[in-house]
């Protein structure tokens, strides 16, 4: 995440604020690229990733702080979450393939 441009917020490390779906979504995207199942240009990869993330419920955690409370590992290893990420990416891919920006 880009640090905010606001001087008020410049002292905070917003890089520690992480979208929990992102690693799951990127894993699915990587698999599709490796298996030649989607276009690997930057436009398509970013469009599919952004669309897939937008379709999933917001889920953030603060790195190194709340790990104990919401253990990201249990979220990332959850079979249902993996399935939801995969479905979201495939739905996004179908939309992007219909209207690619490359
Ligand atoms: Zn493309």
- Give the separation between CA 100 and CA 89, rounded to whole angstroms: 15
- Whole-model pTM: value is 0.86
Output the average pLDDT for the chain.
Answer: 91
In this structure, is residue 86 part of a structural domain?
A: yes
Q: Which domain holds residue 63?
A: 18-98
In this structure, is residue 34 part of a structural domain?
A: yes
Give the mean pLDDT of 43-61.
96
Identify which has the larger pLDDT, 67 or 96. Answer: 96
Cα 20 to ligand 1 centroid, rounded to whole Å? 26
In this structure, is residue 5 part of a structural domain?
A: no
In this structure, is residue 12 part of a structural domain?
A: no
Phi-psi region of 64 (alpha: psi -120 to 50; beta: other; left: phi over 0): left
Cα 93 to ligand 1 centroid, rounded to whole Å? 11
- Give the separation between CA 81 and CA 64, rounded to whole angstroms: 22
Give the mean pLDDT of 75-100.
97
In this structure, is residue 87 part of a structural domain?
A: yes
In this structure, is residue 2 part of a structural domain?
A: no
Domain count, the chain: 1
Cα 63 to ligand 1 centroid, rounded to whole Å? 32
In this structure, is residue 4 part of a structural domain?
A: no
In this structure, is residue 80 part of a structural domain?
A: yes
**20 Cβ partners below 8 Å, 6+ apart?**
59, 60, 61, 72, 75, 76
């Amino acid at each position: 995440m880009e640090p905010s441009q606001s001087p008020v917020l410049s002292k905070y490390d917003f890089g520690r604020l992480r979208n929990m779906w992102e690693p799951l979504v990127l894993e699915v995207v990587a698999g599709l690229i490796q298996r030649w199942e989607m276009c690997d240009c930057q436009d398509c990869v970013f469009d599919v990733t952004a669309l897939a993330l937008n379709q999933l419920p917001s889920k953030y955690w603060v790195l190194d702080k709340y790990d104990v409370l919401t253990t990201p590992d249990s979220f990332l290893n959850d079979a249902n979450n993996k399935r939801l990420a995969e479905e979201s990416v495939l739905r996004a891919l179908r939309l992007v393939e219909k209207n690619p920006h490359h």
